[in-house]
Structure 1
Amino acid sequence: MKTKQLKNFIKASALAVLMSTSIPTFAQSNQIVAVVDNSVILASDVMQAMTQIQQQYAAQKREVPPQPYFAQMALEQLINRQAQLEQVKRYNVPLDENALNQATLSVAQKSGFKDLNSFQRSLDSKQAGSYAKLRSSIAADLSLERVRQQQVSSRIKISDQDIANFLKTPQGQAALGTQAHVLHLRVSGANAQSVAEQVKLALNDSNDVNAIAKRFSQNGVTVQGADMGMRALADIPAELAARITPLANGQSSELIPSSDGIHVMKLLERKSTEQKVVVPQYQTRHILIKTSEVVNADAAKQIIDNLYQRLQQGEDFATLAATFSNDPGSARDGGSLGWVNLGMMVPEFEAQMKSTAVGQFTQPFESQFGWHILQVTDTRQHDMTQEYQQRIARQMLAERQFDAELDNWLREVRNNAYVEIKDPRLDSKNNASL
């Protein structure tokens, strides 16, 4: 036996011996040990979960929890997972086959396989049905992630005022790349408070921190001054950055008491390193003809072709859109869609929009929504910097709230689930030894 094979055999044998002392014995592997809503958890599920936990602990070089906690912990993880899977059923979360294939391929590649077919043959050659079981587990994980995102995201509420307040904080300013040129003085020793007040007055009128420090360092008081230069707010201690953020250029802060003395700062200049976000926009309008129970595909094509001919003959686009378009949101405004950013429309619509000159209208083209005629009435380069900053702030605030809301949702799902533990040895309320 090769050395590597021998090591793997010894490792597996040691694991089997260790697990034999920690896994409770069951009469049958298909014994039902718990019921969660409309599903059951079998003894074999608990055994497998314990094996996985044991492997995780071994990889992390952690000691396996004592009995009976180990088996109860494994069962609780299974109950939590199954309660969440019941939510997947409840909300009828659809499975994205492309995402499933990609996730499975990622697992295959990490195992040294280039494609799913060879990965499937390898798994099933060792144990029939292994590939299908793995794929089912990955599908469940993807569905769980999707329902978590949907349910937790719906709980996160961020107002425009929340965003405005965040952008004024040091964290918000740091996120936007704000830099500040700051002068800093620290006063320590006896009678520091009164001297610090004089230092602040001097700093209001002068930027020479060294001269100020030398002038007031006397009679048991030490004043230290520094020009901190232009630096990112993210690189300044948070308690000091919070005092800098609201200052105007040339303004000094209030006195800041701390354990090492009293601080006072002056903002000389503030600037942002972020680049402006300027995007092309297209002012557009369109006529949409959809198929319906009374308008089949051929009829819809005939209608849009007829409208195109009328436009070529000089009839007014807005009038035809208001009269015939099946897009009620834009039809009442002469087909106007307002200013449109790239990425807002379906690819077919966007391609026509980008290639149409101002004042011109397109030939009829088809998208998933029906047949269109599109007109571009104007274009511009629009500064979206503020909107971009607000979007970044909203994202950061949402990320802050997500973990807390996720914990709340998981607890609610677990508490609201019907759970019946059939095996008393696995009931955490039962203190009897396994």
Structure 2
Amino acid sequence: MKTMQLKQFFKVTALALCLSTALPTFAAETKDEVVAVVDNSVILRSDLTQSIAEITHQFEKSNKQLPPQQYIEQQALEQLIIREAQLEQVKRYNIRPDENALNEAVLKVAKDSGSNSLEAFQQKLDKIAPNTYAGLRARIAEDLAINRLRQQVVTSRIKISDQDVKNFLNTPQGQALVGNQVHVLHIRVAGENANQVANQVKTELSNSNDIQAISKKYSVNGVQVDAADMGTRSLSDVPAELAARITTLQEGQTSELIESRDGVHILKLLERKSTQKKAIVPQYQTRHILIQPSEVISQDNAKQMINSLHTRLKNGEDFAVLAATFSNDPGSARDSGSLGWVSPGVMVPEFEAVMKSTPKGQISEPFQTQFGWHILQVTDTRDQDMTAEYQERMARQLLGERQFDAELDSWLRETRNNAFVEIKDPQLDRKQNKS
């Protein structure tokens, strides 16, 4: 999801790059003035001119007929207003893109334009006009910050309950997601008195899998009974209206009559099987002691304290007692330092590396993470079947992606409506033009 949105940002930014050759012309021909005020920011005529050029370029590139110029201008301004409203929130929450992520994003645009390094890209752009590279980099930084804002705000608005996940996993899409396949017999009854004959066929099918014999027996007196063994296939390959009925069947069970325009359908589930490989995950029953630097405890003091505790553990003192007494991790300290069963990918990399390399029952050497200084002990290990948890996580992710666009549109409308906007040019004000 995030990658797709970034691609959209890169596409817009790359388009701006394509138009950057016209920037000096814009500066020369356009008298810069404020065309709109958005909260504490302003939109300049030059911003609007470039946005209009980008929209026009998009229409021309897709060989679509251009709308009226006034419509393009109003749409361009509206996009800028929504962008500025988001940037106001970026400032409010002090959101800044990671420098490495920014360099990667700029380099992506550079390579798309034929430059293999940021230095070459900068030289290329600044030949067009001074500070063109800096302006483009600033715009990409804004795009990344907006994207991060959207992820934080919109994701927090998405609510997916355990029941939502359960319901989804029972749908054909959910069954296909977890790798379920079904072997189904399918009979269609069409013609006069189709429902009456279909009831007889259903009874017969409940007691027999010989669909060809059933088809031959009941295809008389203007009634056509078509029968097919659908074989073993993913539920995603079954027509949606039929797949929905299959998910509720037990093996050997026949469906109720399914009426449609082309007749009455009856299904029988012969077998359900899963092609999903088991997600077997190694887990470590772990406990630790954390000494965290603070205004009172310096880095050196924290290291000295953890070394002292390590010596006391080596001399036979009780880990649980020392963890409860000295650990700065309140959650685990209340439980004698226990973190429970820990799966890979849960802890920060430094902690996980030590956890995996520490033999069961042994106490690790002191080590440092972003949280402070640690000692850990792995008290047990096991291989855990996490297939159900994996499937639920995949379902939550898919449901979240489905909701994201709708929540994003809703949030953008709210952001636009809640922003203070004053349009200086009456020709650009859609409300005035409507009245």
CA deviation after TM superposition for structure 1 residue 310, in Å: 1.7
Q: Which moved more, 1:395-404 or 1:343-352?
A: 343-352
The AA in structure 1 aligned to 2:264 is: I
Of 33, 36, 45, which residue of structure 2 is paired with 1:34?
Answer: 36
CA deviation after TM superposition for structure 1 residue 412, in Å: 0.7
Structure with greater helix share of residues:
2
Q: Deviations over 1:85-144 (max 9, x none)?
A: 112122221221111110000000111111101110111122100000000110111111
The AA in structure 1 aligned to 2:293 is: T
- CA distance in 1 between counterparts of 2:45 and 2:309 reads 69
Partner of 1:419: 421
The AA in structure 1 aligned to 2:423 is: I
Mapped pair 1:77 → 2:72: no
SS of equivalent residue, structure 1 residue 188: strand
Change (3 A) 1:333 1:191: same
Partner of 1:312: 314
The AA in structure 2 aligned to 1:297 is: Q
Of 166, 171, 194, which residue of structure 1 is paired with 2:168?
Answer: 166
Map 1:242-261 → 2, pairs under 5 A = 242-261=244-263
Change (3 A) 1:37 1:294: closer
Give the RMSD, CA atoms, in angstroms: 2.0
SS of equivalent residue, structure 2 residue 64: coil
- CA distance in 2 between counterparts of 1:242 and 1:289 reads 55
Sequence identity of aligned pairs in percent? 64
- CA distance in 1 between counterparts of 2:182 and 2:120 reads 58
Contact 1:286 1:374 in 2 (8 A): yes
Mapped pair 1:429 → 2:423: no
Change (3 A) 1:353 1:250: same
- CA distance in 2 between counterparts of 1:331 and 1:277 reads 31
Q: Which moved more, 1:263-272 or 1:65-74?
A: 65-74
- CA distance in 1 between counterparts of 2:418 and 2:212 reads 66
Of 238, 241, 252, which residue of structure 2 is paired with 1:239?
Answer: 241
Partner of 1:337: 339
- CA distance in 2 between counterparts of 1:205 and 1:311 reads 70
| Runs of 5+ consecutive residues of structure 1 not aligned to the other structure | 1-11
Contact 1:185 1:264 in 2 (8 A): yes
- CA distance in 1 between counterparts of 2:308 and 2:94 reads 43
CA deviation after TM superposition for structure 1 residue 155, in Å: 0.8
SS of equivalent residue, structure 1 residue 40: strand
Partner of 2:178: 176
Q: Deviations over 1:15-47 (max 9, x none)?
A: 99xxx9xx9xx9962111111111111111111
The AA in structure 2 aligned to 1:47 is: T
Change (3 A) 1:412 1:269: same
Contact 1:41 1:78 in 2 (8 A): yes
Mapped pair 1:46 → 2:48: yes
- CA distance in 2 between counterparts of 1:293 and 1:80 reads 42
How many residues of Structure 1 are paired with residues of Structure 2 in the alignment?
413
Of 387, 390, 393, which residue of structure 1 is paired with 2:389?
Answer: 387
- CA distance in 1 between counterparts of 2:297 and 2:433 reads 71
Query: Based on CA coordinates, which of the two structures has the bigger radius of gyration?
Result: 1
- CA distance in 2 between counterparts of 1:162 and 1:199 reads 36
Change (3 A) 1:300 1:431: closer
Contact 1:29 1:42 in 2 (8 A): no
Map 1:30-429 → 2, pairs under 5 A = 30-429=32-431
CA deviation after TM superposition for structure 1 residue 291, in Å: 2.2
- CA distance in 1 between counterparts of 2:229 and 2:340 reads 50
- CA distance in 2 between counterparts of 1:198 and 1:75 reads 66
Q: Deviations over 1:283-311 (max 9, x none)?
A: 11111122233332333222222222222
CA deviation after TM superposition for structure 1 residue 272, in Å: 1.1
| Runs of 5+ consecutive residues of structure 2 not aligned to the other structure | 1-17
Q: Which moved more, 1:91-100 or 1:185-194?
A: 91-100
- When the two structures are superposed, what TM-score results if normalisation uses the length of structure 1? 0.91
CA deviation after TM superposition for structure 1 residue 378, in Å: 0.3
Contact 1:250 1:267 in 2 (8 A): yes
- CA distance in 2 between counterparts of 1:430 and 1:260 reads 54
SS of equivalent residue, structure 2 residue 430: coil
CA deviation after TM superposition for structure 1 residue 202, in Å: 0.1
SS of equivalent residue, structure 2 residue 321: helix
Change (3 A) 1:147 1:298: closer
- CA distance in 1 between counterparts of 2:47 and 2:344 reads 49
SS of equivalent residue, structure 1 residue 287: strand
